[in-house]
Amino acid sequence: MTIDWAVVFATIAGPILAVWAADIRADRKAQRGRQEWVYRTLVATRGDKLRLDHVEAINNIEFAFPHTKHAQIEDARKIYRAHLRSLGPSSQDQAVRNAWYLTANERFADLLERMAGSLGVPFQRSEILQDSYRPDAHVFQEMQWQNIRGLLLDVLKVGRPINVRLVPDTPPPNGAPP
């Protein structure tokens, strides 16, 4: 009679426990996916920290790596974000700005090192401390965009004039002045 109850219990509890275990496994897999996305995004965008996806990844660290399980990562994140909010990059003194960027890079490397340790990913600090590959054309394009934004702000705020030259739709005949 006890075997009959055991069969009934196993028949009822087995599928329930299997679904419960599958849910736990799916939750862990999703959490690991969030952690890997944050880490990969930060590593991939380390040479261009103004990119929106880099900022989004920084802001998602606390959700991907909850402080209850990842206190060291949370500590490094807080230190890094506090440094990012300091006034160093807006200083007029080039030496202050250079020191600020060096410290920011060190703190960023600390954060990535702790995340890599948590994920079991091989990590070389020297790779993070050195800038990642960024083509000169990207740097040139970014400088052009900054110049365009500056000129546009001058036009909108200061009232800087825009020089316009009108040209005819058809080219002038040979020998005629343009």
Among 49, 125, 40, 53, CA closest to 81: 49
Q: Does a structural domain hold residue 125?
A: yes
Give the number of residues written for the chain.
178
Look at residue 172 and tell me if it is in a domain.
no
Give 118-175 as a DSSP string: HHT----HHHHHSPPP--HHHHHHHHHHHHHHHHHHIIIII----------SSPPPTT
Considering the domain architecture, whether residues 162 and 121 belong to the same structural domain is answered as no
118 shares a domain with 38: yes
Give, for all 178 residues of the chain, the pLDDT tens digit.
567 887 777 778 778 777 777 777 877 777 888 999 999 999 988 888 888 999 999 999 999 998 888 999 999 999 999 998 887 777 777 888 888 888 888 999 999 999 999 999 888 888 777 766 777 787 788 888 888 888 888 888 888 888 888 887 777 677 666 5
Residues 90 and 25 occupy one common structural domain: yes
Same domain, 69 and 11: yes
pTM of the model: 0.69
- The answer to the question of residue 89 being in a domain is yes
Task: Report how far residue 44's alpha carbon sits from residue 20's, in angstroms, rounded to the nearest whole number.
Answer: 36
């897999």: which residue's tokens? 29
3-state secondary structure of 47: coil
Give the Cα separation of 65 and 53 in Å (integer). 17
Whether residue 178 lies inside any domain: the answer is no
Same domain, 144 and 72: no
CB 41 within 8 A of CB 14: no
Q: Answer whether residue 22 is part of any domain.
A: yes
Domain residues for 6? 2-134
pLDDT of residue 131: 64
Give the model's pLDDT for residue 2.
Answer: 66
Residue 1 DSSP label: -
Is residue 103, in this structure, part of any structural domain at all?
A: yes
Q: Are residues 27 and 50 in the same domain?
A: yes
62 shares its domain with 144: no
Tell me: do 129 and 139 sit in the same domain.
no
- Count CA atoms closer than 13 A to 178's CA, side-chain side: 5
Domain count along the chain: 2
